[in-house]
Structure 1
Amino acid sequence: MLILLSPAKRLDFTEPSPDTPATQRRFVEDTATLSKTARNQTQAQLRALMGISADLAKLNQERFKAFDPEALDTGVQAALAFAGDVYQGLDARTLDKQGLAFAQDHVRILSGFYGLLRPLDRIQPYRLEMGIRLKTRRGESLYDFWGDRIAKMIKADLADSAHPVVVNLASQEYFGAVDKKALKTPIITPNFYEGVGEKRKIVSFFAKKARGTMTRFAIDERIDNPEDLKRFDRDGYRLDKTASTDTDWIFTRE
């Protein structure tokens, strides 16, 4: 089983404990290629591409220019560096070494810049959202750039799994980078609603946090069989068996 998460725009590059394990990221050559393209973008182009302010455009231009594609042993581990709503629920900085090791085997983070990250892969500060239309030699967008590469890596990571299933806790924007034809793997998508029955609705902040909380539940409980995720009951959520299907699981809370 592999759980897929989206990255976060907010970053926390506070150095963790020196004995926290770390690994080198993959897709090294692909990221190096992207960094060259991104480095050549003007601040005005970055503003238009990502819909960000002038200050953020300046910050991210500086980040791309400072990025060293060969510095694989610098940066902060991905699961610790991302600090958005999902990662509040995950709370990776409180995991012990055993928990981090389990996460390394069972969690992946989709990234517009890095492709597919393991939780302990070191990353440098960046912002490059998967849905932007950054033109490269491979096409008109990052979806074109990554093609089937991410799906093939996920499939390879699942090769020795007793339960080769993808649990999609990523956003639509990021999961769109996974070529399902190349993946050829069962996909389960949990959804989190506030309220029950006809009045239930998805509230973005709560849904994002719940994705991280479910991931933490899987790590804490050492869940390898996705069926065991149906027991998820943190923060008041419960599986609505009637509303759920084999591939779309509906969790609700009052």
Structure 2
Amino acid sequence: MIAVLSPAKTLDYESALPKLEPTTPRFADEAKTLAHAAAHLTQKKLSELMHISPALAKLNADRYRDFDTLPERPAMFAFAGDVYTGLEAKTLDEAAVDYAQDHVRMLSGLYGLLRPLDLMRPYRLEMGTRWAPRKTKLTDWWGDRIAKVLADDVEAEGSGTILNLASQEYWAAADGKLPSSIRVVAIDFREGEAQKFVSFHAKKARGMVARWLVEHRVGDIEGIKGFDSDGYAYDAAGSSDAQFRFVRK
């Protein structure tokens, strides 16, 4: 089973890292192409495209301008948003990190598809961005390239299953482009008696599921039903073959 996560806007390039053997992104050349093209966008255009403040637009304009000289960091330890708060990668032991390298993937607007130990430079480019070189949308620029590599990873892993922990925006890069033989199971998180969906909690829970998967070395999708971190429990009545629901009080 391959678990797929969204990336994060918040990044960490300061904290100490455990001893790791980093890998090279499969789409390193594509990332460089996109970054160099984005370097020609004005701060105003970046602000409009990404719906960000002038200060953030300047930060990212500088990143794209200096992209080739920016520091690199393994992706699972560079992303620091809500999902990665739940994942807590820095507290995983070496065996869990090794398992994650084979069973966890992160979708990325700039890097396409990242393994946990793939080196990445700081950036911001969301998959839903309505810009790309010679295209009107980033998903059009990527086409089916991300889905093909993801399908290859699933075939190499052997289970034929993807655990979709990504947002709809990022899953769009693979949705409808994978072989029909691959089973995709999404996760739905609900809170309280009313079973409300709370975005912040759901993001963190996605990371917790990924952590639970690598800590318990879960290889079969049925094993995910045992996830019980932070009070969540599998809800059979609210689940289907394509979506597992977890609820907590």
Using the size of structure 1 for normalisation, the TM-score is 0.94
Q: 1:33 Cα deviation (Å)?
A: 1.5
Q: Corresponding residue for 2:210?
A: 215
Q: Corresponding residue for 1:88?
A: 85
Q: Corresponding residue for 1:157?
A: 153
For residues 26-65 of structure 1, the aligned pairs below 5 Å read: 26-65=26-65
Gaps of 5+ in 2: none
Q: 1:180 Cα deviation (Å)?
A: 2.2
Deviations 1:166-216 (A, max 9, x none): 1000000000111423443110001100024xx211101100000000100
Gaps of 5+ in 1: none
Q: 1:29 Cα deviation (Å)?
A: 2.1
- Alignment length, in residue pairs? 248
Q: Corresponding residue for 1:3?
A: 3
| SS of residue paired to 1:158 | helix
| SS of residue paired to 1:181 | coil
Q: Corresponding residue for 2:234?
A: 239
Structure 1 pair 231–18 and aligned structure 2 pair: CA distance change class (3 A):
closer
For residues 20-31 of structure 1, the aligned pairs below 5 Å read: 20-31=20-31
| SS of residue paired to 2:157 | coil
What is the CA RMSD across the aligned residues, in angstroms?
1.4
For residues 81-230 of structure 1, the aligned pairs below 5 Å read: 81-137=78-134, 139-184=135-180, 185-196=182-193, 199-230=194-225
Deviations 1:224-244 (A, max 9, x none): 111100000111111110111
Asked whether the equivalents of residues 103 and 157 of structure 2 are also in contact (C-alpha less than 8 Å), the reply is no
Asked whether the equivalents of residues 18 and 90 of structure 2 are also in contact (C-alpha less than 8 Å), the reply is no
Q: 1:161 Cα deviation (Å)?
A: 2.4
Q: Corresponding residue for 1:76?
A: 73
Deviations 1:49-92 (A, max 9, x none): 000000000000000011118x8xx5111000000000000000
Asked whether the equivalents of residues 154 and 183 of structure 1 are also in contact (C-alpha less than 8 Å), the reply is no
Residue identity over aligned pairs, in percent, reads 47
Q: 1:136 Cα deviation (Å)?
A: 1.7
